[in-house]
Structure 1
Amino acid sequence: MTASTTKSASPIMVIIAFAIVYIVWGSTYFFIEKAVAEFPPFMLGAMRFLMAGICLTAWCIIKGEKLFGIPNIKHAIISGVLLLFFGNGIIIWVEQSVPSGLASITVSSAPLWFVLLDQPKWAENFRSRSIILGMIIGLAGVLMLFSEQVSASIKGSGGVGIGTMALLILASIAWAGGSLYSKYKSSQGSTMVNTSWQMMAAGIAFLPGMLVRGEINGFDFSAVSTGAWLSVFYLVFLGSIAGFSAYVWLLKVRPAMQVSTYAYVNPVVAVLLALIFANEKITLIQILGLVTILGSVLLINMAKYRREKLAAMSKAA
């Protein structure tokens, strides 16, 4: 696929894929926090992505997919390492000490990096006032949503340090860069094959860190709670296989800027999970933040819809 083209897709499938990316990925922050409380970080990353990669590869073999296209493998490895080893791996590492809700605020900067790094779309995105305004509104909504939590964390004894925040920003940059690389380079082969190679590459990338840190030495798998194991399985089958496959597919059929709106909805889901399962209270400013975020997503999507409608009318004329 060239930089200027976007494949067509069923509107129903697009809606389902967005729902998976919006909701399931928003919940993964919660389950990462539960899993990394009992599993070392590199071991968790290796387990999650190798298990997902093996499952997807087996499915590809059953379906008779062509697995060994060298150019596709190279592109999948690069994007997989950027997306899953750096982008997601940093989140796993940080959530050893940072609450899942606070960690999820970092995804709010992802649309900004998408715009800045998506050079083929610079002219289109920077000409759209609606998209720029939607980005600003969405970022403001996320800041409102977590303003009290961030303030308390910084002022308290367990405040988030500059190094941690820098890592989280790096995670967002790596994620945006890997997403755009996947969109423009992974032009051949099925989404399932590309995703399986991305998962395998990321899982293997975690292994050296696991060995160097000695995470496997003396680790008692039988001592891990049922809740932690269930969290791992949720991350493998829903977060990785379902969520990441939907995300990679969306990058092929929708503009990257539109797909990046997940970054505004995921923190909403994270807050709701904290509210329901961690008994955290939601304040008025957080409610306003939720409404603002959803409004920004609508504004960005409507801008894309109007542009595509006008383009379709021009072609038909």
Structure 2
Amino acid sequence: MSQPKSKLLIVLAFFSIYVIWGSTYLLNKIAVMELPPFMLASIRFTVAGILIFGIAKTMGISIKITKKQLLNTMVAGFLFLTFGNGVVVWALKYVDSGFAALEISAQPLVILILMRILQGKKIQPMSLIGVALGIVGIYLLVSQKQIIAQENSILGMIMIFACMLSWAYGSLFVGKADLPNNYFINTGYQMFTGGIMLFIASLAFGERWSTPNVWSLDVQISMVLLIVFGSIVAFTSFNYLLKAVSPEKVATSTYVNPIVALFLGWYFLDEAITVQSVLAAVILLTGVYFINTKKKLVLFSRFNRKQV
């Protein structure tokens, strides 16, 4: 049986993926300047998964799942965390945290296109406008000379886009897959398996590991916040919302994430906010609004009642 939907839980979950996830760009940027990216992400998710299992044990919640559910959580863990997050953390070595958040704000556009390709769902005229605006916004964002001139910045942009594809497909996969009914346990398995795969990736790339006692205080604090809030709280909320509402609605977190990330990156890391970046943000977020709005163009609504 599926768990009942609670309006309060949905509101709190949206706040979590809106604001908390917006701050993780800053936290990851701080940590990745000192730690290898796959090591950072591996520790974050593996520890979060273990903590979730420990909390479940003390609460008397069973962590038993079927083999099929284990396989599905591993697939989701790879799409969301091993590749979808681990590579973003790697890319943050070469691009600003606010820039990464802005690029990822095009996530609803990618989900919409994948839903059209993989599920055959037609695109509303309003959403078509959103797609067009999204393309323009992305172009304005990535075409800035001061950003392109940075070493490996183009590679970072490309890899972030690949992560967006991974997250988009993962969102559609999770919406249909047989996963543990308990969202907390579901998160735990995705975190743990995703963290183990990141550990393997870290070894494969020859990263040098270190213990927390040699990290700076800023990195230690960032890691704790990433594990507790960015991983356990926000990702549990994310998995809950993917079952409680549609993937397109979950993707609206991209309205707020870039604004939070831009402000925090500017305030704490002195990251530049260019006029072109602001213009790109306005166009991108307007496009996201058009993609997710339930309103229809009057001219087409009479003829497109069955479109989604």
Q: Which moved more, 1:275-284 or 1:265-274?
A: 275-284
Match of 2:158 in 1: 166
Q: Which residue of 2 aligns with 1:314?
A: none
Q: Which moved more, 1:291-300 or 1:110-119?
A: 291-300
Which of 222, 239, 252 is the equivalent residue of 1:248?
A: 239
State the superposition RMSD in angstroms. 2.9
The aligned counterpart of 1:11 is 7
- 1:198 aligns to what? 190
Shift of 1:304: 7.9
Query: 1:22 Cα deviation (Å)?
Result: 1.4
Distance in structure 1 (CA, Å) of the matches to 2:63 and 2:24: 28
Match of 1:257 in 2: 248
CA distance in 2, matches of 1:153, 1:120: 32
Instruction: Report the CA distance between 1:189 and its aligned residue.
Output: 1.9
Tell me if 1:68 matches 2:75. no
Q: Identical aligned pairs, as a percentage?
A: 30
TM-score after normalising by structure 1: 0.81
Structure 1 pair 7–296 and aligned structure 2 pair: CA distance change class (3 A): farther
Whether the aligned pair in 2 keeps the contact of 1:101 and 1:271 (CA below 8 Å) is yes
1:100 aligns with 2:97: yes
Gap change, CA 1:61 and 1:157, over 3 Å in 2: closer
Distance in 2, matches of 1:140 and 1:20, equals: 29
Residue 238 of structure 1 is matched in structure 2 by 229
Distance 2:81 2:139 in 1: 25
Distance 2:39 2:180 in 1: 32
* CA pair 270-76 structure 1, distance change in 2 beyond 3 A: same
Partners of 1:56 and 1:220 lie apart in 2 by 22
Q: Which one of 40, 55, 58 corresponds to residue 54 of structure 2?
A: 58
TM-score computed with the length of structure 2 as normaliser: 0.83
Output the amino acid matched with 1:103: A
SS in 2 for 1:303: coil
CA–CA distance in structure 2, aligned partners of residues 65 and 169 of structure 1: 37
Gaps of 5+ in 2: 297-308
- Determine which structure has the larger helix proportion and give its number: 1
For 2:301, the equivalent position in structure 1 comes to none
**Within 1, Cα distance between the matches of 2:276 and 2:205?**
42
Cα deviation, 1:227-258, whole Å, max 9, x if unaligned, reads 01111111111111111111111100111112
One-letter amino acid of the structure 2 residue matched with residue 33 of structure 1 = K
* Residues 73 and 179, structure 2, Cα contact 8 Å, conserved in 1: no
Which one-letter code corresponds to 2:191 in the other structure? M
Gaps of 5+ in 1: 306-317
